[in-house]
Amino acid sequence: MILLRTIAETREAIAAARERDLTIGLVPTMGALHEGHGALLRQAREETGYVIATIFVNPTQFDRPDDFQKYPRDLESDLALCERWGVDVVFAPDAEEMHPSGAPVTSVDVSGVGSRLEGEFRPGHFRGVATVVAKLFNIVSADRAYFGEKDAQQLAVIRRMAADLNFPVTVVPVPTVREPDGLAMSSRNQRLTPEQRRIAPVLYQALCEAEGLCETGRMTRGGSRSAAVVKQGALALLARTPEIRVEYLEVVDPATFQPVDTVTSDVRIAAAAWLGDVRLIDNLLVSVKLGR
Ligand code: AMP
């Protein structure tokens, strides 16, 4: 495995892999790697001939300076994990390498799918994400790029961007990896106190409650389930834990992330909540079969 710090060296490595007829798999990350990232990298290892992990804590996608400052960073441990997961190249540029002229003035905005939920509560977040991923797609020119369903709205934003701008890459979704108690793995979980960590799985429990209500909740006259009732049930469960401050919990269309009023087909239930100064997000795709 090699560690590269510059765009030029990374392009050379990719060109050499192409010479060897290898397919290229890209996994963009912000480091502080855990088994969630491991799932993406392992899948890339299985499906492509040359795996490149990028590690870049992208300043332009943080809406709060303190979140950027406190974001966990541990390159040494990340490199050991990448080695274990069979990565070929780690591209870990510094901010100067990625943005030599300061903050970029050119940006990618994915409206619609990126405008609500995370887009609403973290202004500028998806612009930062889409712009840096567009840069990485241009630097790495991968055949397949892997993104986690943990950040389902981000995945939808990237898919839409890749389609709209004709990036010649297949965007591959990878299911969320969870701790045994259900908490979705996240680099930010490191910042939870032991007490907060004990409480944190309640967010997943609320999503499971909502999932159950999609299946069994009261039918409307039209034969579908009310999204408001599903939402109320999940929020009632969260209200029992005063330490949790819910930012949003919504029942949305899985492709567009627009809210639905009635659950007539598959939906995604997405939520964001604060525990102290740590912001947790999670979501579940709910397959709905009505008429049972
Ligand atoms: P991050 O380092 O948080 O920017 O995440 C890098 C990639 O890993 C993104 O595509 C995330 O969606 C994905 N990821 C993060 N946590 C998980 C998880 N628990 N399960 C699956 N994918 C994840």
Mean pLDDT by 10 residues, the chain (292 residues): 98 98 98 98 98 97 95 97 98 96 92 96 97 98 98 98 98 98 97 98 97 76 78 96 98 95 93 97 89 52
Q: Is 148 in the pocket of ligand 1 (CB under 6 A)?
A: yes
The reply to whether 37 belongs to the active site is: yes
pTM of the model: 0.96
How confident is the model at residue 292, as a pLDDT? 47
Q: How many angstroms is it from 221 CA to the middle of ligand 1?
A: 40
How far does Cα 267 stand from its chain's mean position? Answer: 17
Do 68 and 27 touch, CB atoms closer than 8 A?
no
- Residue 268: φ, ψ to 5°: -115, 135
Q: Give the strands of the sheet with 50-55, arranged side by side.
A: 2-4, 89-91, 50-55, 24-29, 144-148, 170-174
Q: Is 286 in the pocket of ligand 1 (CB under 6 A)?
A: no
Q: Please give the single-letter amino acid code of residue 12.
A: E
